[in-house]
Structure formats: structure tokens, C-alpha cells
Chains A and B, each alone.
Chain A
Amino acid sequence: MPNIMTTGIAHELPVPAEAPPPRTHGPIGWLRANLFNSLFNTVLTLVALYFLAMTIPPVIRWALIDAVWTAPSGQACRGAMGQEGGACWAFIGEKLRFILFGRFPYAEQWRPLVVVVIFVALILLSCDRRLWGRRLPVLWLLGLAAVGVLMWGGVFGLSTVDTMLWSGLPLTLIFSVVGIVFAFPFGILLALGRRSRLPAVRAISVGYIELVRGVPLITVLFMASVMLPLFLPSGFTIDKLLRAQIAFILFAAAYLAEVIRGGLQAIPTGQIEAADALGLGYWQRTRLIVLPQALAMVIPPLVNTFIGTFKDTSLVIIIGLFDLLGTVNAALADANWQGFYVEAYVVAAAIYWSFCFFMSRYSQILEREFNKSRRR
């Protein structure tokens, strides 16, 4: 090998690359940079680690190690879990079908199962942006028609099921989806009304939107359940389920109207002036120029409104309907299985959470995509 002493040429000397110092590289470097980069952060990390050490092992012991997976009754479950107490997942195994489908006739519960599958499929399909446009509303209409047939029955040899027996997850999904679908056109009209140049139309729209947004959903539900029957001429009765559905539609419409108004306000005046210059009338301009742009802009907040409605449906428990939360509470009332509400609520929370988390993630992704043009 040539040596610097003999050749005098420095660059011929092959210098092996040295490994980066372990303090800045690899797992230790990562730890130093992210967990222990200052005194304050070191203290925070230690506190957080202590917190985790105090909480995680008991939770794991409760949920997995000391848990009872099969037992014929609550008594047996308690007897099997020992002194410390663990989760009684046998309760969930026993009640899961009731929690999901509630009081729907037992032999017919494949129908609500198919309904849930249809809703999940529709939601997943809606995420595919290639389907956006004319095809998606058609798919939704077909899906909702199938849902109606499956739930009501009475045709194709399906037995008729009274709406009071509809319960569980399908009811939660029906309330939120049908609520948003019907609230959407109403919300658009309200938003247009609020932006209208006609003072009477504007005043009535503003009054409605602010009134509904100013009161809790509970009062709207109370009103629908107690006062709606009073509003109708004598002799008319209105299904209890439909009353709650109307409350959700009226409530969601006001919130959707505000979201859509945000989109309407973001449209440059030039677009409207161009439409006027082309000789389009108000409705043509709104349908062809304004709404397509305004609605596209507000898709992420629309998804968030849908998530809100989905969570809000859990309030129907107040007027005595059995949505997912209602069936959980009903399952807890079983005298044979009393006191396992932590297990029951954890399962219900997991179901709600997976729907909401998926949708909110999707709306975040959409938002990032839509903002690309503005970010550059």
C-alpha cells in the first residue's frame, strides 16, 4: 500500500469512514434527541414512564390475564375471576348479538347484519374519489332502498318488523345516514337563504339557523317526541322512530347550513359576475357555477358534521329508543349479568370509535389533499 511518507500524495490514502458517534445515531441517538434532549424533557419523560408503568400493567391484567372468557352466568363469572377481579368477556360473548341488533326478531337478525354491511360498504365506496359524481348518489339511493326493504320487510317473503323493534347498530347508522342525507338539501336551501339578497328570506333563514344552533340537541329531541304529536291535526299519529329522525334532520340541517355557507362565502365574486354575464338566472347560476365549487371546498367539514351526527344519535336513549348505547344499557339491566358495564361500555366505545376514527382520518387526508394547491 502506498504510504504518505513515500509518495507524498495525500489523496491516495484510503481513509475508512468512521461510524457516526453513537450519541447522535441509532436508538441511543433517537432517545437523546426525542426523549432526553433537555432537563425539562427528561423529567417529563420519566413522569410519563412512571404513569405508563402504573396504568398499563393493571389494565392488561384486568383485560387479559385475570379475564374470564366463558361462563354461564354473571355469578359464575365473578367466581372464576378471583380476588383482584378481571374483565368478564363472557358477558360480551353472551350479549354481543343483543348489543348489535337489540330487539330485532332473533331468527331475522341476518337482516340488520346485512344492513350494517351495506352501510359500511357504502361508506367505504364513498371514500373512492373515482366514484364521486353521478354514480355515488345512485349507489346511496340503491343502498338506502335495500336497507328499507331489509328493515321493514313485508315484501319478497320477508316478514314485517315493527319499527319499535329496530335497535342497536343499524338504528344508529340509519339515524345518522338518513339524517344527513335529508338534512343536506335542507341545509343547502338554508345556506342560500342566509346569503340571499331578499331580506325576508334572509331573516327567516338566520332565525332558524341560530335558533337551532343555540339550543341543545336534547331539547330538539324532546320537542320532536313530545310536541310533534301536538302539532299534527287530530287523528294523525306519527311513528316514534320517525319523530326522532325528523329531529336529527332539523338539527343537522342548521349545522350543515353553516358549513355550506362557509363554502359559499369562499367563492370569488368574479365567478358569480361571470355567470351573470353569461345570462344565467339565479337557479342556473347556483346549480351550475356556485354550488359545485362551494360544496367541493367544504367536503372535509361536511365529513366532520357527519361524525358529529353519528355521535349525537346516542342521545335517542333519552326518548326511549334503543340505538347502540340503548341496547348496551338494556343488556346491563339483565338480572343474571349485573355490573359488567365497564366491559359493555368499552365494547360500545370501540364500535363508535372505529367508525368515527376512520372517518376523521379520512377527512384529514382529504383536507391535506385539497390544501395541496394552496400550500405550494
Chain B
Amino acid sequence: MASDTAGALRPKRPPPWHDPAVRGVVFQILFVAAVVAAGGFLVHNTLANLERQNIATGFGFLGREAAFGIGESLILYSPADSYARAFLVGLTNTLYVAALGIVLATILGTVMGLARLSSNWLIAKLAQIYVETFRNIPLALQLFFWWGLLRWSAPAPRQAWQPLADVFVSNRGIVFPVPREDPAHPWMLLALVIGIVGAWAIARWARLRQARTGRPFPSGWAGLALVFGLPLAVFLAAGAPLRLDVPALHGFNFTGGTAVSPEFAALLFGLVIYTGSFIAEIVRAGILAVSWGQSEAALALGLTAWQRMRLVVLPQALRVIVPPMTSQYLSLTKNSSLAVIIGFPDLVSVANTTINQTGQAVEGIAMIMAVYLAISLVISALMNLYNRAVALVER
């Protein structure tokens, strides 16, 4: 009798078509089947279409001779090289411009973000005008503008603009002097590495000593002195061997120095100025997100302005800044693909030429997508590591 009552009280299993678990499984099976069917339909059509157009599938074309020239390349390349090598050239160009762009955009954006918070009215207004102007104009238009300025507005090498001594801007690009190689340079590099390690060691020792005894040590100045002083000492000890390779006009073009093509300069300029305007807003928002009470507390403790920034405001602001900064880095990298519109040979541009020559559209696009996905994942992973380092450690 008792067991009967218990059985009646226990909720009855609903019929399968009302059971959420069963319905969930059935719905998922149907959903996956629909997605697979749609995908299969597309793949089937694609294969049929490719067969009709006599286009072979597969990545065999990568080994064939590319037979097109690439204007600028960080690695050795000639038209006789394979498509795979051409892709590699495009990839290195993309990575190069993206890495340089990320560093420069971070510097520009941080400076502008801080300038917008400046107590100097004029500086704050100028920074605001910069941000509001460049954020609201499409990057493609900005690239065309800079490229046009460098390619068509700039004079011929003979009448090149000279913004600084020995820096020439002409329609062939920007030429600037570089130091000639000298046996002392590797030693200066070594001194720099030793300086950085030493600065790190001093900072660590100073932190531990302050924690133990409470006595501070000016580790920042000592570190700076090591990082810059050691290479400088080596430089002076070697007799200050600075010989610049200065560009000079010979005939119709420059010889000497290092040249940057108008395409590369326009792309880098455009990416940095555009992304910098977004980063400026992120930095400003991050610093404003730290409540004023924190600063007041730091002042009450007697910290100096620099200490307040470094020990109180910045660690908290970074928590707000890092995630959106990551997405800006990602978008800068992806935006570097706009190189194709001004003819800088980045990955997309090379792949585009390849697709036009071979008709291997599916493979070409798949390769670009795979590369950008990989770059995105690496940047996300690195920034997540950094984010974990600055994130709030909760008890």
C-alpha cells in the first residue's frame, strides 16, 4: 500500500515528445543533419561546377612556377620561384606590416588617449579632433588618400621633399639614412641585452628589499641607466663608430640609405592612424574607469604623481584596457589585408594574383582564411596570457 502511494507521488515520466531531454536530442540531430545536408549540397555543387570548368582541385599548384614578380619582399624571391614561395613572401609582408603597425598604433593611441585627458585645453582638443576625424572615415578611403599623396602628389626624386635633413620623400617612396654596419654593433646589442637583464634583476632585488625592510630603491633610474648606459659605453669605448649610409641623388633615383615604397608607407601610415584613434578611446576609457577615490587615496598616502600612475591607476586601468585592445590588434591585422587595394604585396594580394592565374579560388581563399585564423588565435592567446597577468587576483 505504502509503496503504491510513493509510486503515485513520484512524477510520471512525460511521454517522449514532451520530455525536454528527448526533444533536445532529436532537435540537435535534426539541426546537425540540416547543416550537414546544406554543406554537402554546396560541396557537391562546387565539385560539379569545378569539374565542368576543368579546374583541378587540390594544392598541387603550389609547387608550380609563380611567374609573377613581387615588388617588395623580406625574403629572397624571383618570378621563377613556386607559388608556395610567393605565398610565403605575402605572409611575411603581412606579418611585418601588422607587427610594426601594432607597436606604432599602441604608442600613438596611448599618447593620444592621455592627451585627451590632459589638463591642457589645447592639447585635449587637438587629440579629440584627431580621434573624431580618423575614427569616422573608412580605412580604405584613408589608404587611398595617403597612397595618392605619396604616389602622385609627392615630387620626382630630383625635387624631393626634405622634412628632415637626409630624409627624402618623393614619388618613389621615402628614403632615410641608416647606420653602416660596424664590428662594434653586435657588442652594443650584447650590452643592451645585459642591460635589460641587469635592470630586471635590480628591479626584483629592490622590490624584495622594500618588502623586507621598507627601504625603497630608485630601481627605475638604475634600470634606465643600465639599459641605455651600457650600450652607450660600448659605443664610446669603440671610438663612436657612427657612419651613416646617407641617401644621395644619382641620376633619377636615390642610392644609399634605406627606401620604403609609397605602398608600404601609405599602408603603415593608414593602419597606425586609423587604429590609433580607436586605441586612444580605449586608453582614455580605461583610465577614466579607475574611480577618482583611488587617486585621492594614493595622494593621501603621499605617493608622487608618477607612483600614483604606476602603482595605483595603471594596474587597475589595464584590466579594463587589455580585452578591447586585443580586438583592436586583431582588427589591425585583419585590416592589413586592405593592402590589396593600393597594391602592396601582402598575403591577400599575392593570393588574389594566384587565384587569377590558376583559377584555384577555393584553395586560395581557404589558405588566406586559415592563415588569418591562425594569426588571430596566436594574438588572442598571447593577449589572454597578458590579461591573466594583469587580471584581478580574487581571494
Contact = CB atoms under 8 A, between A and B. Distances in A.
B88 interface: no
A199 interface: yes
Interface of A: 34-35, 37, 41, 44-45, 48-49, 51, 197-201, 204, 211, 213-219, 222-223, 226-227, 229-234, 307, 311-312, 314-315, 317-318, 325, 329, 339, 341-342, 345, 348-349, 352-353, 356-357, 360
B144 A218 contact: no
Contacts of A45: 120, 122-123
Nearest to A203: B32
Contact of A34 (B45, B50, B120): B120
B334 interface: yes
Contacts of B137: 311, 349, 352-353, 356
Interface string B359-394: 001100100110011001100000000000000000
B250 interface: no
A213 B133 CA distance: 26
Contact of B122 (A49, A352, A353): A49
> Sorted from nearest, which 8 A-B pairs have the closest CB atoms?
A356-B136, A34-B121, A216-B334, A200-B28, A311-B138, A314-B138, A216-B337, A214-B376
A345 B369 contact: no
Contact of A37 (B119, B140, B152, B352): B119
Given A234-B48, A315-B338, A227 B362 contact: yes
Interface of B: 24, 27-29, 31-32, 35, 42, 45-46, 48-50, 52, 118-123, 126, 132-133, 135-142, 144-145, 148-149, 152-153, 334-335, 337-338, 340-341, 348, 352, 355, 361-362, 365, 368-369, 372-373, 376-377
10 contacts: A44-B120, A216-B334, A219-B337, A226-B355, A233-B45, A311-B139, A318-B340, A325-B144, A341-B145, A353-B137
Nearest to B368: A219
Chain A: interface secondary structure?
helix
Most buried by A among B52, B121, B126, B152: B121
Nearest to B339: A218
Nearest to A349: B137
B24 A198 contact: yes
A219 B148 contact: no
B126 A48 contact: yes
Contacts of A48: 120, 122-123, 126
A231 B42 contact: yes
Nearest to A361: B132
Contacts of A218: 337-338, 340, 348
Contact of B27 (A198, A342, A357): A198
A311 B134 CA distance: 12
A201 B372 CA distance: 25
B365 A223 contact: yes
A219 B152 contact: no
A367 B149 CA distance: 38
A232 B45 contact: yes
A109 to B, nearest CB: 23
Contact of B46 (A230, A307, A312): A230
Contact of A353 (B29, B133, B153): B133
A171 B54 CA distance: 35
A133 B124 CA distance: 39
Contacts of A233: 45, 48
Contacts of A317: 140, 341
A256 to B, nearest CB: 15
B116 to A, nearest CB: 13
B361 A227 contact: yes
B45 A230 contact: yes
Nearest to A223: B365
A312 B48 contact: no
B141 A325 contact: yes
Given A34-B120, A37-B119, A44-B118, A216 B136 contact: no
A357 B120 CA distance: 24
A205 to B, nearest CB: 10
Contacts of B148: 341-342, 345
A48 B136 CA distance: 23
A325 B137 CA distance: 11
Contact of A349 (B32, B141, B348, B372): B141
A234 B119 CA distance: 66
A304 B78 CA distance: 44
Contacts of B376: 213-214
A219 B372 contact: yes
B362 A312 contact: no
A117 B362 CA distance: 41
Contact of B152 (A216, A234, A339, A353): A339
Contact of B145 (A49, A232, A342, A360): A342
A286 B237 CA distance: 74
A232 B48 CA distance: 10
